[in-house]
Amino acid sequence: MIAVPADIRIFDNYRWHVAATPYVDAVARVAGTVPFIVPALGEALEVEAVLDRVDGVMLTGSKSNVHPAHYGVEPTERHGPFDEDRDATTLPLIRSAIDRGLPLLAICRGMQELNVALGGSIATEIQEIAGRDDHRAPDLPTQDERFALRHEVRAVPGGILAGIVGVEPFRVNSLHRQAIDRLAEGLAVEATAEDGTIEAVSVEGARSFALGVQWHPEYWAGSEPMSQRIFRAYGAALRGDAPARAVA
């Protein structure tokens, strides 16, 4: 069983705790786990009680961004939208999961949360930075078109990701306008895009699988080989039969 922290969404005059279907499908059908959606209750949530009952944690992507107050930056509209209930839930959950040595997979917003939880910072509107490409979601009519594999990343030799997907460049579906700015102490870069954007990280010295990716392997986990490998490796770690880091 894995904990999947929820987003807060408002519709039909209610506040809902939700997780998008591609994420829970990927961990259920490809990783072979039982996803447990954790409500974004912030300080009202007993994090340790949740982690006592699960075997790992997965952090999903989201339209919202980590509030910049968590990394010492004055918030602007360009940093939003925000989901402060999710921040208040995920940041302590991440730290406790790492302390316990629970397998952790962090996707898109989740990777940014991982970086912030450990003391790093986030840059916004990276497409406006000289030399950076536009990693934002294209304005296309279908999800399959929006989540198409568009640019290459290269895994760092000897890392967790290279042990899963190899060291040859492969194509991914990044859909983000924010990215890691200052890398947190305790994180190692696992992959970069051609423009230098950090696309994957791992927790140095982690007692188990602890990987973050900026792209969306959950969307094609049922059919695309690299996406499948990531979720299968995470599932293997949950069952205790995957190495924490590949041999260089």
pLDDT in tens, 151-176: 999 999 999 999 999 999 999 998 88
- Global confidence as pTM: 0.94
Among 48, 55, 3, 38, smallest CA distance to 235 is for 55
Among 74, 73, 109, smallest CA distance to 89 is for 109
Q: What is the mean pLDDT of the chain?
A: 93
pLDDT in tens, 175-210: 888 999 999 999 999 999 999 999 999 999 999 999
| Domains observed in the chain | 2-238 (3.40.50.880)
Which sequence positions are flagged as catalytic? 108, 216, 218
Comparing 55-59, 85-89, 105-109, 130-134, the range with the smallest average pLDDT is 130-134
pLDDT at 245: 47
The span from the CA of 47 to the CA of 32, in Å, is 24
